[in-house]
Amino acid sequence: MTREELIEALEDILMLDEGELETDKSLESYEDWDSMSYLSLIALFDGKLGKKLDIATIKGFKTPQDIIDSAAL
Amino acid sequence: MHTKIKNCSLRHIETMVPPTIVDNMSLDFDEKFKKKVVKNTGVRQRHVLDDDMSLLELYEAAGCNTLEKLGWERESIDGIIVVTQTPEYQLPATAAILQGRLELSKDTFAYDISMGCSGYIYGLYSAMSHIAASDGEIRRVLLFVGDAISTIVHPKNRSSVFLFGDAASCSALEYDPGASVTPFVLKSDGSEYRSIIVEDGGLRNRIGKHSFEEYTDEEGNVNTRASLKMDGATVFNFTVENVPALIEETLAYGGMEKGEISRYCFHQANKFMVDFLSMKAGIHEKTPVNIDKFGNTSSVSIPLLLSDFEISEKNTMLIGFGVGMSMGTCIVDLGHTSTAHSVYQKKD
């Protein structure tokens, strides 16, 4: 998965249109950053990146950039 | 725990849902949020009990239909088991009441099992064990599985209120020396018991006024301690980590290859989870899904899947997982099993 594909997937999870994701903006400010998006993120990391994500790690993410860094693409 | 049970056949599965249907898009929440929830959970509509109804009526009707369909005399039933986490009363057991309602012989054993999402597998295991262990002295058992989780969800809890539907079922099991062997794999992890819980109302936390006081959790869900509380992300994590390996373990124990299984019938937790699990296990094309019509019906979701799709195939894997946490699988021969599904008709 490329960085661009990950951003596209994050936009999908956060119900944003293409190009709307601001990687340094607080995740809390996104209306759709909730427990359902946590599930999507766990599935994304497990299915596309082969990486395990736990809830504590997800709750530690402050911005989309933290997620991108965690993916270590 | 692994075990193989012999000499027992599943003859018939009867499922029943209450007549009232809730369309999730009609609920009083923001339109965008509703669309997102319906897309992710896959639940378009659910059948729910009306306030003046209980599951007992549905069990009774499903039981009567089953006896009629199979031509079984009431006196021939040796035992009934009810698997539910929403019983008629805290005591007595729902099964005891049902024995009376169905006018079964007083020689019939009747007891309840308190299990949820994995409950159908545990119920089959228990019913089949009685028959197998008695070498046919116990010849016929009716297994009732039902839940009405919609009745214990707080109506303002936006993480759960869209998800749960109500349903009941009756499965008929019989001693059969020619039956295929049924391999079972059953597992538990009580360290995660708080992931799906109703906190008040049992011995640990007695019910009181405080049980009905509304609070808002950190996700913004309104709830009370007398209602269902579910940590969806933890449940999802648990499932993703355990269920794919459980499927492999069941295949190995049953001595089968993935391709030899005709259908993989998952507990219908939510569409997102079932899709993810079946893709991960590489069995997506053999995985039926009907959560769009019924919602998550807890222990009834697997029999509801079998009757809705009229599944009657030899090597069918049933996969239950959830509250407890608890997991169970079996590979069951449904080659000679009939199914029926109906909507309960209220009597005047």
Domain map of chain A by residue range? 3-71
The answer on pLDDT for B347 being more than 80 is no
**Residue B30 exposed, middle or buried by CB count within 10 Å (0-12, 13-18, 19+):** exposed
pLDDT (0 to 100) of residue A35: 79
Point out which residues pair with B321 in neighbouring strands.
B327
Average pLDDT, chain B: 95
Give residue-wise pLDDT tens across range B49-76: 999 999 999 999 999 999 999 999 999 9
Beta strands in chain B (DSSP E): 2-5, 8-17, 20-23, 45-48, 79-83, 109-113, 140-148, 166-175, 182-188, 196-198, 215-216, 222-223, 228-230, 263-266, 316-322, 326-332, 338-343
B120 close to B299: Cβ distance less than 8 angstroms:
yes
Amino acid found at B262: S
Nearest-Cα distance to chain B for A7, in Å, is 19
Query: B138 vs B7, B135, B182, B290, CA distance in Å?
Result: 12, 7, 18, 34
Measured between beta carbons, which residues in chain A are less than 8 angstroms from residue B269? none
B94 close to B63: Cβ distance less than 8 angstroms:
no
Measured between beta carbons, which residues in chain B are less than 8 angstroms from residue A35? 159, 219, 232-233
Give residue-wise pLDDT tens across range A4-59: 999 999 998 998 888 999 999 999 999 888 878 888 898 889 888 888 888 889 98
pLDDT (0 to 100) of residue B220: 82
CATH number at residue B179: 3.40.47.10
Q: Which domain holds residue B1?
A: 1-348
Give the separation between CA B301 and CA B341, rounded to whole angstroms. Answer: 13
Give residue-wise pLDDT tens across range B319-346: 999 999 999 999 999 999 999 999 999 8
CA B24 to chain centre: 21
The answer on pLDDT for B14 being more than 70 is yes
Any B CB within 8 A of A40 CB: yes
Q: Which residues of B touch A (CB under 8 A)?
A: 32, 36-37, 40, 159, 219-220, 232-234, 236-237, 240-241, 272-273, 276, 279-280
* Other beta carbons within 10 Å of A70: 17
Of A1 and B139, which is predicted with more confidence? Answer: B139
Give the separation between CA B268 and CA B274, rounded to whole angstroms. Answer: 7
Measured between beta carbons, which residues in chain B are less than 8 angstroms from residue A43? 236, 240, 272, 276
Work out the widest C-alpha separation in chain B, in whole angstroms. Answer: 58
Whether B233 sits inside 8 A of A34 (CB atoms) is: no
pLDDT (0 to 100) of residue B124: 98
pLDDT (0 to 100) of residue A66: 94
Which tokens hold the place of A69? 């860094």
The answer on pLDDT for B148 being more than 80 is yes
Work out the angle between the directed axes of helices B232-254 and A35-49 (0-180°, nearest 10). Answer: 40
Nearest-Cα distance to chain A for B117, in Å, is 19
The answer on pLDDT for B229 being more than 70 is yes
Whether A39 sits inside 8 A of B36 (CB atoms) is: no
B311 close to B288: Cβ distance less than 8 angstroms:
yes
What are the residues whose beta carbons fall under 8 Å from the beta carbon of B283, sequence distance 6 or more?
B247, B258, B261, B264
pLDDT (0 to 100) of residue B197: 96
Give residue-wise pLDDT tens across range B31-49: 888 888 898 899 999 999 9
DSSP per residue, B218-232: TTS-EE-TTSEEE-H
The answer on pLDDT for B348 being more than 70 is no
Give residue-wise pLDDT tens across range B242-293: 999 999 999 999 999 999 999 999 999 999 899 999 998 999 999 999 999 9
Any B CB within 8 A of A29 CB: no
Nearest-Cα distance to chain B for A38, in Å, is 6
Highest CATH level, class, for A3-71: mainly alpha
Which tokens hold the place of B313? 């195939």
Amino acid found at A12: D
pLDDT (0 to 100) of residue B219: 79
